[in-house]
């Protein structure tokens, strides 16, 4: 297993499947009367959030607590960071306090990569979303959700998503979710199509392992899963699209469009949804929409990642001296 989780592109097919399989095991914990494993007892995990986030931070915190880790939550607002402290100093301060892993959310693309690769700290780094770059645990929980729904909870064990057709719709340009999903779904054998107005597709997308379409209707009928991305209303002020209504008409998912999807196909959304913009309430509340499942699966996936990265499968004893030797 790798030391850090920075990008979904870093995962091999087997590593990704191992995480998904481990997450299935973790999911069973949630069905128990006592939802807790002792795997990370005595280990401290810091959630280092430089960017506002509620659901991702809570999801990581729930995962850490279910593995019995000690949890430190660090939000940049109101901390020394807002007084000008650098990422390096913040991270080194936390490590000096004995943090065993850092979960980082940062507004700057590449910040987790820098943290993991600059010799600033030794602890494993888990990327909880960086700028418009990557959000690998989101891609993993999405793949987990797809595998459960499209392959099966038990049948899915050991399986990837070979041949499944996944459509991702919306603001690809500014989306770390889209980038992570394209990378991971390709690794897992799925066929990905991105759908967006041309303004919201990055220059340079031609090398990505996916198709790009500007037409939602023609791709819906060929999709096993349709993932709607959040579209911020402010984008129209920068002329990415003319109005909210025009966006909804051309790229929003409503009941009529959903009806044209294959019967088994699911609707996904990383949340938070902007109802009435990229998705109508009718679709969001339909049984085909997996938004709530995705949230539940997120905890299982993050448990699996923490467990595998922190070597929870070896022994519960902390490996204190290996870390100093690496220096």
- Contacts with another protein by CB under 8 A lie at 86-88, 106-111, 113-114, 117-118, 130-134, 176, 179, 202-208
Pick 33 or 204: Cβ nearer another protein: 204
Kindly tell me which of 9 and 72 has the beta carbon lying closer to another protein: 9
41 annotated to a ligand binding site: no
Distance CA 160, CA 276 (A): 33
Smaller CB distance to another protein: residue 198 or 204? 204
Of 186, 193, 189, 192, the residue nearest 212 (C-alpha): 193
Task: Look up tokens 């430089």; give the residue.
Answer: 50
Measure the CA–CA gap between 285 and 52, rounded to whole angstroms: 26
Q: How far is the CB of 234 from another protein (least distance, A)?
A: 13
Report the candidate in 309, 256, 315 with the shortest Cα–Cα distance to residue 286. 256
Per-residue burial over 39-70, b if 16 or more Cβ lie within 10 Å, else e, is: bbeebbbbbbbbbebeebbebbbbbbbbbbbb
230 is in an annotated binding site: yes
Q: Which CB atom, from 180 or from 294, has the smaller least distance to another protein?
A: 180
Q: In whole angstroms, how close is the CB of 110 to another protein at the nearest point?
A: 3
46 strand-pairing partners:
72, 102
Whole-angstrom Cα distance, residue 158 to residue 17? 6
105 is in an annotated binding site: yes
**In whole angstroms, how close is the CB of 187 to another protein at the nearest point?**
15
**Range list of β-strands (E), the chain:** 44-49, 70-75, 101-106, 125-130, 165-169, 191-195, 211-213, 225-228, 266-268
Q: Which is nearer to another protein, 115 or 261 (CB)?
A: 115
- Is 56 known as a binding-site position? yes
Task: Provide the minimum distance between the beta carbon of 223 and another protein in the complex, in angstroms, as a whole number.
Answer: 23
Minimum CB separation from another protein for residue 182, in Å?
Answer: 10
Peptide bond into 272 cis (omega under 30): yes
Q: Among residues 207 and 321, whose Cβ is nearest to another protein?
A: 207
**Cross-strand bridge partners of residue 253:** 279
CA 135, CA 100: separation in Å to the nearest integer? 21
- Whether residue 138 is annotated as binding a ligand: the answer is yes
Q: How far is the CB of 253 from another protein (least distance, A)?
A: 25
Going by the annotation, the residues of the binding site for carbamoyl phosphate are 55-56, 105, 135, 138, 271-272
Going by the annotation, the residues of the binding site are 55-56, 83, 105, 135, 138, 176, 230, 271-272
Going by the annotation, the residues of the binding site for L-aspartate are 83, 176, 230
């Amino acid at each position: 297993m790798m030391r850090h989780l920075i990008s979904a592109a870093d995962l091999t097919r087997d590593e990704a499947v191992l995480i998904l399989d481990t997450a299935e095991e973790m999911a069973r914990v949630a069905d128990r009367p006592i939802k807790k494993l002792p795997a990370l007892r005595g280990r401290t995990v810091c959630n280092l959030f430089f960017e506002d986030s509620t659901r991702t931070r809570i999801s990581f915190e729930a995962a850490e607590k279910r593995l019995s880790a000690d949890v430190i939550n660090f939000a940049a607002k109101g901390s020394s960071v807002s007084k000008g402290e650098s990422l390096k100093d913040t991270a080194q301060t936390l490590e000096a306090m004995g943090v065993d892993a850092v979960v980082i959310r940062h507004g700057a693309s590449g910040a987790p990569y820098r943290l993991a690769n600059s010799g600033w700290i030794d602890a494993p780094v888990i990327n909880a979303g960086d700028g418009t770059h990557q959000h690998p645990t989101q891609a993993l929980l999405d793949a987990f959700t797809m595998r459960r729904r499209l392959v099966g909870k038990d049948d899915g064990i050991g399986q990837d998503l070979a041949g499944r057709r996944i459509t991702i719709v919306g603001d690809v340009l500014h989306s770390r979710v889209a980038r992570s999903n394209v990378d991971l779904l390709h690794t897992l054998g799925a066929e990905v199509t991105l759908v967006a107005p041309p303004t919201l597709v990055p220059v340079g997308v031609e090398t990505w392992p996916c198709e790009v379409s500007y037409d939602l209707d023609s791709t819906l009928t060929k999709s096993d899963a349709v993932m709607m991305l959040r579209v911020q209303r402010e984008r129209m002020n920068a002329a990415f699209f003319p109005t909210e209504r025009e966006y909804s008409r051309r790229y929003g998912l409503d009941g009529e469009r959903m009806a044209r999807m294959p019967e088994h196909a699911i609707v996904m959304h990383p949340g938070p949804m902007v109802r009435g913009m990229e998705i109508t309430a009718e679709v969001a509340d339909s049984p085909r929409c997996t938004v709530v499942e995705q949230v539940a699966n997120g905890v299982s996936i993050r448990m699996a990642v923490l467990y595998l990265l922190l070597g929870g499968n070896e022994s519960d004893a902390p490996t204190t001296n290996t870390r100093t030797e690496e220096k």
